[in-house]
Amino acid sequence: MRMAKFCSYNINIGGRLVAIERPQVMGILNVTPDSFYSGSRCGVDEAVIRRRVRQMIEEGADMIDIGGYSSRRGADDISPEEEYSRLRTGLKIIAEEAPGVITSVDTFRAEVARRCVEECGAHIINDISGGDLDSNMFATVASLRVPYILMHMRGTPATMTQLTDYECVTADVIKDLQAKACKLRLLGVNDIIIDPGFGFSKTVEQNYELMRYLEAFIDMDFPLLVGISRKTMIYRLLGTTPEEALNGTTVLNTIAALTGAHILRVHDVKAAVETVKIVAATTGAYKY
């Protein structure tokens, strides 16, 4: 069986080059009380966070993405200070339980991003807004010299469901990501990871169109992150719930891995690791 060619990349993590030679599994750590999938909510209970981190590492996570602000529609707005406090707690526990693991901070606030990198040692900034919700984000990432996950979204988490009018969703998303990547390059940001933003300002049908043409994002010549874990595009299509969406998640992660995605952002690390191992054994495209 053949798959789309897997393109390896090196990214600079804290001054060392890290090779992405197979799909990396990025485990989700939500230090929030209100994320859309109830099974991912740790709050700021240190014992719960510690168990979650240990579980992800034991199951084979390559990276941990920590978020302190829920992007679920209708979730409570919190101050930058509260968001940073949550993230600091989680990052401290990650450093204790999994020293050396690559950490990504899920925030759209430049100052929160800066403090997480400078004060807590975070390695990557993951911005759901692609710089749109904080005009200082691109300059901040450039000054921090850290990899940046550039995601596509329109509007805010509260308004994004009303902003799904595209001429061609795949082409429009690529155009937006390319324009922003150019701005980042001009500022000196060398390590850009792109994310089409599944579930953000797209209808269910548009999400599947993006998945159908996922190879077009590989052709952009950046590492590609795919984050579809337990999302609306799965459970609305099947008439179920986020709690019942693991099987659908695994199917889509398999498609993403076969297409050449570089990072799978997931709630269920064990299932994603098994997916990557099986794709590796079946295709021979990379080793696990």
Whether 24 contacts 63, CB under 8 Å: yes
Q: Is 265 a catalytic residue?
A: yes
Long-range contacts of 18-22 (CB under 8 A, 24+ apart): 18/102, 20/223, 20/262, 20/263, 21/286, 21/287, 22/276, 22/280, 22/286, 22/287, 22/288
How many angstroms separate the CA atoms of 276 and 142, rounded?
A: 32
The amino acid occupying position 29 is L
How many angstroms separate the CA atoms of 261 and 10, rounded?
A: 14
Catalytic residue, candidates 109, 154, 180, 265: 265
If you count DSSP H runs as helices and E runs as strands, how many of each does the chain have, helices first? Answer: 10, 10
Pairing assessment for the beta strands 16-20 and 9-13 based on DSSP bridges: antiparallel
Structure tokens at 72: 């679920």
Residues with Cβ < 8 Å from 117, sequence gap 6 or more?
105, 123, 125, 144, 146
Classify the phi-psi angles of 57: left when phi > 0, otherwise alpha if psi is within -120 to 50, otherwise beta. alpha
Catalytic residue, candidates 52, 88, 109, 231: 231
Q: Active-site residues: which are they?
A: 231, 265
